[in-house]
Structure 1
Amino acid sequence: MSHYATSCEILKVQNLSPRLRQHWHGFVDAAPELASPYFDLEFTEAMSAVRTDTRVAVFYRDGVPAGFLPFQKSISGVFRPIGGPMGDHHGLISDDPELRFANLLRRKTFGTLIYDGGLATQSDLRENGHPAEASWVVDLSEGQHVYWEGRQKAEAKAMRNLRARERKLDALGGEVVYQIDDPRSEALDQLLSYKRAQYAATGATDVFHGDWARQLVYNLFAHRTDRLAGCLSTMELDGKLVAAHFGIRSRGVLHYWFPAYDPAMSSVAPGLLLFREMIRQLTDLGPTQMHLGPGNYDFKKRFSNSSFDILRGEISSMSVSSAALALGRGVDRLASALPLGPVSNWPAKAWRRLDTLTAVRGI
């Protein structure tokens, strides 16, 4: 079987035919690496409801649908993964990870597709990407007992610290209530308030600056099907919300997305205690995995018992956007090569921040 797509069309989501939708669902259901809710058609449909720049590249092999690539169609000629800065995982929706599609995009004067979180198992993403990094996973497929026994053996100190936090919480007194699938919209309001305050305090880009991002979260919160659902988890102390998390789940995966907590309670690490409770009750919701995404975060390494490789990269045609990206990468490489100490990292950090900001604004 040839691994080359022979034709491509770019469609709005609402123009996908029932036949194409059936193929999309079939690809997701057949491929374990596509179990993340990011890859489900319903997530792309949710994005289409809040952003008019949502598109899908449909690839065919001799007239038969062979793969789908959803993305956000920037006015600048830079195309980003579906969800923009809110998307941790991205890739081709196909039953053939070796499918070659990049040249078809280039022939369409596509501009530049930037991906950050592309599946390293897919040939064209791998060959156009930078070195892979781990995306962390909590895997409960062998049961809670096996998971926690494994964490105790591998991360004894982290488990002791977790128990110490719990004792500190107990010492405060009061009633602690966890809800793993909380239906209250006012709890989601408070979570977003905590999260935006956290962005402001740390100087991180506020992904909720755009109305579309807030609307997406509320739409997903209300979305309930067997393929995709929003999931709000909360922790209260004496009736006050002290930690919360909002994520999305598919049949097999809960994606860990937006956690936040009351900073006044930081000494007891309520976010970490809620995270532990989410793991304990995860399989009651249906999924057997929690995807934590990439990043050099201590809790991800300590609590993960599995991972898969993702990467960032670009698929570019000759265009103004690709030339601008090449210039930016050149400045970054030059700065990194000079003996400037910490200053050498500034261009890369500024470039990433600018890309996130433009992605939030859909530029």
Structure 2
Amino acid sequence: MTTMRDLRDMMRPHLYNPTGYLGAQHSDHLATAAGIDPEDVIRLNANENPYEPLQEITDALIGLPIHEYPDQDLVRMREALSEYTGRPTEQIIAGSGGDEIIELLTKLFVAPGESMIDCPPTFGMYEFCARIAEAELIAVERSDDWEIDIDATTEAIDRTGAKILFIASPNNPTGNLLPDKDARAILDTGIVLVVDETYYEFCGETSAGLLDEYENLVVIRSFSKWAGIAGLRVGYGVGSELIIDHLMTIKQPYNLNIAAESAALAALDNKAKLMSRIDPLTNERKRVESVIDELPGISYSPSTANYLLMKFDGRSGDEVYEYLARRGIFARKFSGRRLENSIRVSVGTPSQNDMVIQALQELV
């Protein structure tokens, strides 16, 4: 009788029992858990654009040659992004969401056992990629107002020899920006600084102006939020030709599928229409903020994006999450001491925000 080897013993030890990335659940799962119909789910847990895609984008998906492989060199996509960003095509890579660019950069710069710095609370994908890469994650906590602790961060870089640092700007979930002076202080250490500007179109603030000065800077952006095509997964990175050339070499050959590319190109062709949706969402965020300002026991972190991090006095984030879920409103809750009394709520349509406001008013 053949004795089979235990498959678990054959796995890489650090991947045997990993902690996966906890993303937003599908509306069907949320509806089942809440005992409501899927059409009654109000998804404010993933910072998605609450409006349906432009007709021009859906039209671009008709009649595509899906029997053919996509362009592995991303020629049309990189040319269109060059026009949009003002950067040369040689400094641009596109991929399956900003997450793929994060993963590629981690793969390029982090070897097993090396240190990788994280500045929580922030987007969980950085920590996730560090764990998969078998890196030693060094957490440098943000200050009480969620700013990067520059002294502690630069000290950790010097002490550990870490080679790459991801900073979201606006930060997710806190909504604050990375000032250029802080970016420069980090870049001057020589570390590769990746500024994740997934929500750039909502704030209009960017670190891209530093690209000509610093070869060690990469800027990541996404089509998921402003363009409303999160389900197709399109993101891109802008950096020095040296870094981008290596990323293009190690990426999967057909990493951006034909449907995603066509939708992104249509989004860029119709960017004025898409950008016209930004101001209404910003105004809606400000409307929710103005209501919270009058509510006792609730505060929020000033945000430059399409979401608000709300903190509740005397209530846990889990408690508030469940309270909203019973009303069909789904927010993002967090673990960890600093956010245990907080939830993040995406800005929805006016009617969705009305329901959030009513729920918050009745809660207090």
Give the TM-score taking structure 1 as reference length: 0.29
- Between Structure 1 and Structure 2, the one with more strand by share is 1
TM-score normalised to structure 2 length: 0.29
